[in-house]
Structure 1
Amino acid sequence: MGAFVTGPATIMSEIAPQTGAAGHSRPGLSPGRLIKNEAPLLHIFASIHLTRSNGIPKVSHMEMQLQSSGPPPSDESLAVRAMNEIRRMIFAGVLPGGTVVQDRKLAEQLGLSRTPVREALGRLAGEGYLRRDKRILTVQSVSFEDVMEILATRRLIEGETARLAAGRMTLPRLAELRAAIEGMIDPREVSHDRHWTVDDLVHQSIAEASGNRMMARLVKDLRERTRMFGLSRIPRRFDPGKAEHLAIIAALEQGDGDAAARAMTHHIDNARQGILDLLAGTPSYAAPAGAREDLKNQGSTS
C-alpha cells in the first residue's frame, strides 16, 4: 500500500531506512515525515510516493520543484504600489489637473498588469484625486478658489496643532526638524522632492505631535490638495519660508504654544499671499523674465 507525501524540504539524505551495526534497521523517512531545512532564497517542494516492501518503506517516485521562498506579491500589495506611484505623479505634476488617465498606459509605465492599476485608480477616484465622467477618468483640478479655501482652513487647523504641540515635542526631535530646514541652503541644489519632503516633515510632525489624530489627518489631506494646485514653487519664498519654519521651531523649543500658533498662521498667511501676488503679477513677487518656466529652480514652503 502506498502513501503520498508533499511538503517543503531541502535535505533528503535519509529517505530510505539504513541498517545499523547490529543489523537493526534505523527508521528513515516514514510516510508523512519530511526532513525540513528551508534555504533563505529557495524551497524545494518534493512530492514523494512511498511503497512498502516487507514492511519497510521505500521511495518509488519523487518529484521536486524549485520555487521562490516568498509568496508572489498579492493584488492588494500591487494595487497599493500603483496607488502610491500614481499619487506621486499627480503631486509632481507629471499628471496635472485635467489629464485623462488610462489604465493601459499607466500599467505600461509602472510595469504592472492592468488589474492592480484599475484597482488603484478606483481608490484614487474615491479619495478625490481623480474625477470620473462615465467611463473617463481625469485628474482632479484644484482651482484658485479651492486653494484659497484650503489655505484658510489650514490656517485655523495648523495654528491649533502648533499650539497643542508645544511642550509635547522633544528637543532632539525639534533639533532634527531644525537640521532638515537649515540643510536646504541653495535653492538651485534643492530638488523638488527634497523640498516637499522637508516641508511635509515639518508640518506633519507638528500635526502628529498635537495629539489630535483627526486634525493630523486633515492637515495631511489639505496639504496634498495644496500641492495639487500646480504652483508647486512660488518665486522668492525659499528663504522667507525657511525663516518662517525656523520661527515655528524656535517657539516650540521654548514650549510657547501661543507663539508657535502665531508663527504658523503667519507662515500660512505669507504662503497664501505669495500665490495671490504671483497670480496678480505684483512687482514685489513677480518673477523675472523666464522665471515662470523655471519655477522648479526656486522654492517655497507652505
Structure 2
Amino acid sequence: MTPPLHLSLAGQAVDALRELVLTGEIPAGTRVNEVELAARLGISRGPLREAIRHLASEGLLVLVPHRGAHVPEAGPADVKALFELRTALECAAAELAASRRTDADVARLHAVCAESRRTYQAGERFPYRLDLAFHRALLEAARSPYITEQVHLVQQRVVLLRSGLQDHPPHQRASLDDHDALVSAVAAADPSRASDVMRRHLARVCAQMLTSLA
C-alpha cells in the first residue's frame, strides 16, 4: 500500500535533512534556516518541520521554542558519555554476534571490510556510511533488535560529532585493522575476544576524538 503523500514527503525530508547534518553540510552550532532549506530541498515548510522534529527526537538537532532548531555542539564530556553508552551496547552486541552468527553474516562482514579497505587505499575520504555499514552488519549478526535500535541512535550522535573533525589517516587505518580483528573473532565464534576487541576499538576511537576536539 502506498503511504499518503504527506508522509512520503516527510520521510524524504527526514532522510535529506539527516544527510546534511551527518555530513557536516549544516555545521555544528548552525541554526536551521527553514525558508532556505525548504527551497533547497524543493519541499514546503510543513514536511520540513516534521523532519526537524523527528531529528530533534534522535538528538541530531536541538529544537528551542520560538527560536527554531540548530545542530548541537559537543565537548569532551559529551564524547565520553556517548562512548560509555556505546561501549556497553556494542560490546554486548559483539558477544552476541560471535554466538549467533551464520556463514552469511561472516561473509557480509568480510565484504564490508574489503570495500572499506579498497576505499581507503584508493585515497578516498573514509565515508561514515562504510563505518556504519560494518557496525550494522555486526548488529544483524547479533540478532538483538533492541540493542540495534539504541546503537543506531548513539552511532548517529557520534557521526555528528565526527563530521566537524579533520580526517586522521593513521586512525582510519587502525579502524580498518580493528574491524578485521572483530570479524576474525566473530568468525571464530569467540564472544569474549569479540567483546575485548570492540572495547579496545571504541576506546581508541574515543581517545582520537578527544584529541581532535582539544
Per the normalisation by structure 2, the TM-score is 0.88
Structure 1 residue 72 displacement after superposition: 9.9
- In the alignment, does 2:81 pair up with 1:149? yes
Q: Give the letter aligned to residue 233 of structure 1.
A: D
| Structure 2 letter corresponding to 1:270 | R
What do the CA deviations read for 1:204-249 (whole angstroms, capped 9, x no partner)? 2222332322211111111100011132733421211111100000
Runs of 4+ aligned residues of structure 1 deviating over 6 Å after TM superposition are: none
Q: CA offset at residue 115 of structure 1?
A: 1.8
Match of 1:57 in 2: none
Corresponding residue of 2:49: 118
> Are 1:180 and 2:112 matched, yes or no?
yes
Distance 1:212 1:176 in 2: 17
Against the structure 1 CA distance between its residues 247 and 171, is the aligned structure 2 distance closer, same or farther, given a 3 Å change threshold?
A: same
Distance 2:60 2:119 in 1: 32
> Are residues 1:164 and 2:96 paired?
yes
Identity, % of aligned pairs?
A: 29
Unaligned runs of 5+ in 1: 1-70, 281-302
Q: Which has the higher contact order (CA 8 A, sep 6+)?
A: 2
State the alpha-carbon separation in 1 of the partners of residues 89 and 52 from structure 2.
29
Matches within 5 A, 1:35-74: 74=5
Task: Sort the Cα spacing of 1:232 and 1:204 in 2 relative to 1 into closer, same or farther, 3 A.
Answer: farther
Q: CA deviation at 1:172?
A: 2.9
Contact 2:28 2:73 in 1 (8 A): yes
CA–CA separation in structure 2 for the residues paired with 1:205 and 1:215: 13
Structure 2: runs of 5 or more not aligned: none
More helix by share: 2
**Aligned partners of 1:130 and 1:140 also within 8 Å:** yes
- The count of corresponding residues between Structure 1 and Structure 2 is 210
Residue 188 of structure 2 aligns to which amino acid in structure 1? Q
Counterpart for residue 222 of structure 1: 154
Q: Which AA in structure 2 matches 1:185?
A: R
Instruction: State which structure, 1 or 2, has the greater radius of gyration over its C-alpha atoms.
Output: 1
1:174 Cα deviation after fit: 1.4
SS of structure 1 residue aligned to 2:143: coil
TM-score (norm 1): 0.64
Asked whether the equivalents of residues 234 and 278 of structure 1 are also in contact (C-alpha less than 8 Å), the reply is no
* DSSP 3-state at the match of 1:128: coil
Query: Does the 8 Å contact 2:28/2:72 carry over to 1?
Result: yes
Match of 1:249 among 148, 168, 183: 183
Give deviations 1:141-191, integer Å, cap 9, x for gaps.
232211111112211211111011113222232122213212323537465
SS of match in other structure, 1:237 = helix
Change (3 A) 1:123 1:279: closer
Measure the CA separation in 2 of the matches of 1:150 and 1:197.
19
Once residues 103 and 123 of structure 2 are traced to their aligned partners in structure 1, the CA distance between those partners, rounded to angstroms, is 26
